[in-house]
Amino acid sequence: MDEIRKLNINHGFPSNILVGKDGKIIYATANISFIDPNFKAKSEIFLEKLKLEINKNK
């Protein structure tokens, strides 16, 4: 938690942080859920960014 605090990411917990191979944060969000409609949209954004990062490194 101290390391996350140093990054100044105030999304709440649980936090989901997508970090690229270069160590830079690509996307950060809290409360990912693909079944809860309140969180589905940002969960899909996280998934798309993850897919882009994976495909970029192929």
Q: Region 31-39: what's the mean pLDDT?
A: 80
Q: Where are the beta strands (DSSP E) in 8-56?
A: 15-19, 25-30
Measure the CA–CA gap between 15 and 11, rounded to whole angstroms.
6
CB 19 within 8 A of CB 4: no
- Could you report how far apart the first and last alpha carbons of the chain are, in Å? 32
Q: Region 35-56: what's the mean pLDDT?
A: 87
Q: What is residue 51's predicted lDDT score, i.e. its pLDDT?
A: 92
Q: Is the pLDDT of residue 2 over 80?
A: no
The residue length of the chain stands at 58
Q: Region 30-37: what's the mean pLDDT?
A: 80
Higher pLDDT, 55 or 35: 55
